[in-house]
Structure 1
Amino acid sequence: MLTVRDLLLNESLGISALAGFAGVDRTITWAHTVDLCDPWKWVAAGNLVMTTGIGLPTDAGQQVRWLEQLADSQACALLVAPRADSPALTPELLECAEQLGFALLSASFELAFVKLSQLIIESVLHTQRERLSTSERLFQTYAQVLRKKPDFEGRLTLLADSLGLDLLVEDAASGVPIVASRQVAVSRLLERVAIPGIVSANLVIIAHGKKVWGDPLLVRSLVGLLSIELERLAIARDEQREAGATLLRNLITGQIELSAARPMLERRGLSGTLVCIALEPGQQGVWHTETLHHAPGLHQPAPLLLADEGLLLMLANDSPALFEQCLANLGAGTRIGISGPASVAAGVTESLRQARLALAQARESGQSMQRYGEAQRVTGMAPKSLAEARALLGHYLGALIEHDRSQDGELLKTLAAFLGNDGNWKASAFELGIHRQTLVYRIKRIEQLSGFSATTTHGSAQLWIALQAGISTGLLEGFSKWHRPS
């Protein structure tokens, strides 16, 4: 498409620039001949306004206001081929054009406006034909890459290569790349265009070398194709989340063992050390708990997500980057409780219990993130506050409390009696009224659930301090009869 500069360089037209040289690179979208006193009412953005000047006012101040109104119409330039009786162009008018950066051109009256209009219109029509042809090739290329490349990145790369560009799709909120045709340099960024859809994203267009690319029709066509691609990915992620929620629910209820679920988890990229997460969302986040799976940081690997009474429960890789993504995407006030490593022996239910306890500790301490087992510990002295006592109790005895509550068991009472009798098996069994072998079984079960040995000096000391913290603060009622002064 022609620019004002192209007209100036065409010597056969005999056009010269009088003022407003800063505007000579504007693109001409159409040519419009008008000799009325109010041409701005009849022209559109990008039009080259051609006049004999007969409609120009004679007064310098009025000429300035006339030009200002014409420039406000977003016309690209004014070409004056004056008749003998046309008003002279005043210095004030020229100075105004220069200040506005609005190209003011001059030609002889003999210049045929019809010829010039034909030249511009042919250029516009040629450009439109090229755009349609390019758009047609774009859709043909897309139809071909659908068969050749099964993944979005591969299809985007082939589309970019066919256009001679680099293309990048980024998350609109965070700027995190979702997919790119290749590694691109941000300094060469040419254009950023919003892609409509459930996923808020931008298309970033990067050209090679000095090539300038800015075809609105082609951009809209490309954005339309990418919008469909992103919608397809969003639908796939919705289905993946639903399947993940079902799997996590079955793991929690025990219908599926963690060992049996490993192949399914690995297909989602969940391997190595896994943890459970209890997440309490904040407010005014970029994403909500219902849509968090669309956030770029959760695409791959894709954690299992399950909404539960205002919380979001997750089974995920032990990844600090994932935790930070959740905090950033869900807004201020978000809190996360993280379990210890999920094990086949303890199961997902135990890991989830740990995550809930860690979340409760995060609330009490005012922290945004808390790992199970990293709560403030007290060794060798009593806790300094009720919150510290709760944290100590949850870390060392939380699994036993949860077991006794759900199974109507007596593990905590057994531990209290065993420690109160200084680890004496016979005295402890007699005090509890059970067989010695039953006591052995219970102590082994206590060690499995808590992760601490009640028969070693270090383990028994940790458990004893936690037990005393619960008794002294009233958190463990009914256990004072097993209390032994140290």
Structure 2
Amino acid sequence: MAEHKMTVEDLLRSPALQLRLIAGEAGLGRSVSWAHVSELDDPTPWLLGAEVIMTTGIGVPRSAARQRAYLERLDDAGVSALALSAQLHVPPLHQTFLEAAEERGMPVLEVPLAVPFIAIAQEVAAAVQEDARHRLGAQLQVFGALRWLAAEDLDTATLFGRLERLSGYDVYLCTPQGRPLLPGVPVPSLDVLPSEPDAPPTIPGGFVLPVPAPGGPAGFLVAFEREGARPAGLAVVQHIATVAALQVAMARHERETLRREGAETLAELLQDVLEPATARRRLTRLGLPLDAGTVLVVVKGAPDAALRRALAEHPHLMLRRGDDHYVLGPPELRSPITSLPGAHAGMSRPFAPGGSTRMARREAVWAATRAVESGQALVHYGDDKTGRWLPEDTETLAALVEDVLGEVLAYDEAHDSRLLTSARTWMERDRRTDDAAAALHIHPNTLAYRLRRFAALTGRDLSSSDSFAEVWLAIQAARQLGLHDPAPS
């Protein structure tokens, strides 16, 4: 027997059956799963599809309209072919009946009187039994996929390549949004994905099945019959979907393990307790590149899930502290982080992978605060033209702040006032008193009083260029040290 499903054409070509095609040649490629005798006018309630219906003609109507309706009912029920016994009870077949068979590609066969129906049934049964043996063998081998996975440590692409060869299907996987679900397995065309969760699995040329996961499908598996292969059926495709679900669960577990390890490593890096060589080994194991500089990013206002999704395709370590997220990775992190709606982030200057993060942390915190104040999605430390003139040493910065702003900071703390904020806002708005007062929601006279008080406490005349520059640098240093209150909204 041919190495494929039995078709109507196979029956027609069988020399022992001596069948003759009356009409419906276009449907000779229809597969045949069973052959059954029925003399009913409407046998469709008892059919499953892909049957050859054999009749002596008792149930075939005599009028043209009813003959056509009879054939259309069988075709709508998925019948593969209608076999009529010659010279018995078949009424004259009307032209409209034959035309309907041609239009629909519904084969109508004539069975010689000398050929009993049982001969056709046996021919089909033998083919079905052979196909069942093939499917069982394929199922047993596909069910061994888990053993291969454990014993041979196969990668995903190799595993699914084997499953394709055994099952007779080309396999595709994707997330519900149509993105790759597992590495090495191609994504199907999105137009074959079901629009409803309970959609039937059968599609033209194959099947589409959900890949189960806690909380809902992780995606979909699409299996198309491969040309020249013997497809093993729905049960095997269902098992491949189960294997895919297991692979997805394993991948998720691995990602979660790496995420936890990454958070622990980043916590130790922020505390500067790792030797550079040890830190680099860990970064390599966690997938971070060592051939370029790394940056530290502080992200404010981003939900956990949204930030993880945005960074999913990029190597990184992430640690949550309070409402902020610390992210370590290559400078390319800028693009996915700036795509987060409502988030504000600060990025340090690049530094050597595995090196001390003390300076990078201060830079990122300062830049994130500046991003919130300015409403920007991302601020790079160093973008501020004034900040680049400030020393990196915290003691020098602290001395500058204390010398210029020490009394102002003490006054603001003691009186719960906002002299520093008022002066900074006035300077940021190019000394336009009305604009700064509006931003602070105070009267211009109130701002003028605060500026006079600020000048008295600092001992600097803000109309002097030298004093103005010194005060402005001190304010930037206070920002860098986190010694200022938020700017007005």
Query: 1: CA distance between counterparts of 2:105 and 2:404?
Result: 87
What pairs up with 1:395-474 in 2 under 5 angstroms? Answer: 411-412=400-401, 414=403, 468-469=427-428, 472=431, 473=436
Alignment of 1:36-435 (within 5 A): 36-82=40-86, 84-140=88-144, 142-149=146-153, 151-157=155-161, 159=163, 169-176=173-180, 178-180=182-184, 193=208, 194-197=210-213, 200-203=218-221, 211=229, 213=231, 215-252=233-270, 254=271, 256=273, 259=276, 261-271=279-289, 272-275=292-295, 276=297, 278=299, 288-289=305-306, 292=309, 295=312, 297-298=313-314, 301-304=315-318, 306=320, 309=323, 313-319=326-332, 323-324=335-336, 327=339, 333=341, 335=343, 337=345, 339-341=347-349, 343=351, 344=356, 346-347=358-359, 349-354=361-366, 356-357=368-369, 360=372, 364=375, 370-372=378-380, 411-412=400-401, 414=403
- Distance in 1, matches of 2:22 and 2:321, equals 69
Residues 84 and 138 of structure 1: CA distance in aligned 2, closer, same or farther (over 3 Å)? closer
Q: When the two structures are superposed, what TM-score results if normalisation uses the length of structure 1?
A: 0.66
2:337 & 2:75 partners in 1: Cα distance?
48
Report how many aligned residue pairs link the two structures. Answer: 400
Q: Report the aligned-residue RMSD.
A: 4.6
Q: Is the 8 A contact 2:8 2:81 kept in 1?
A: yes
Q: How far apart are 1:120 and its partner, in Å?
A: 0.8
Query: What amino acid is the match of 1:316?
Result: G
> Identity percentage over the alignment?
20
Name the residue aligned to 1:10: 14
How far residue 201 of structure 1 moved from its aligned partner, in angstroms, is 3.7
Aligned-pair CA distance for 1:174: 3.9
Decide whether the 8 Å contact of 1:32 with 1:43 is kept in 2.
no
CA drift of 1:360 comes to: 3.0
1:263 & 1:292 partners in 2: Cα distance? Answer: 26
Q: Does structure 2 retain, via aligned residues, the 8 Å contact 1:167–1:180?
A: no
- Partners of 1:102 and 1:222 lie apart in 2 by 34
Q: How many angstroms does 1:250 deviate by? A: 4.9
Cα distance change, pair 142–81 in 1 and its aligned pair in 2 (3 A):
same
User: C-alpha deviations, 1:346-383, integer Å up to 9, x for none?
Assistant: 44533542563475378x35xxx5342597x7x8xxxx
How many angstroms apart in 1 are the aligned matches of 2:253 and 2:29? 45
Query: Aligned with 1:178: secondary structure?
Result: coil
Partner of 2:477: none
Is there any run of 5+ residues in structure 1 with no aligned partner, and where? 380-391, 418-430, 433-463
1:326 and 1:12 mapped to 2: Cα distance?
74
Aligned 8 A contact 2:86 2:113 in 1: yes
Conserved 8 A contact 1:339-1:358: no
Q: Which residue identity is paired with 1:356? A: A
CA distance in 1 between counterparts of 2:227 and 2:36 reads: 35
**1 CA distance for matches of 2:275 and 2:427?**
35
**Using the alignment, how far apart are the partners of 1:11 and 1:48 within structure 2?**
18
The CA distance in 2 between the partners of 1:178 and 1:85, in whole Å, is 60
Give the 3-state SS of the residue equivalent to 1:289 in structure 2: helix
1:5 deviates by 1.5
Q: Secondary structure at the residue paired with 2:136?
A: helix
Distance across 2 between alignment mates of 1:79 and 1:294: 63
Query: Unpaired segments of 5 or more residues in structure 2?
Result: 193-204, 409-422, 441-449, 466-489
Aligned partner of residue 242 in structure 1, secondary structure: helix
Kindly state the Cα deviation for residue 24 of structure 1 after the two structures are TM-superposed. 1.8
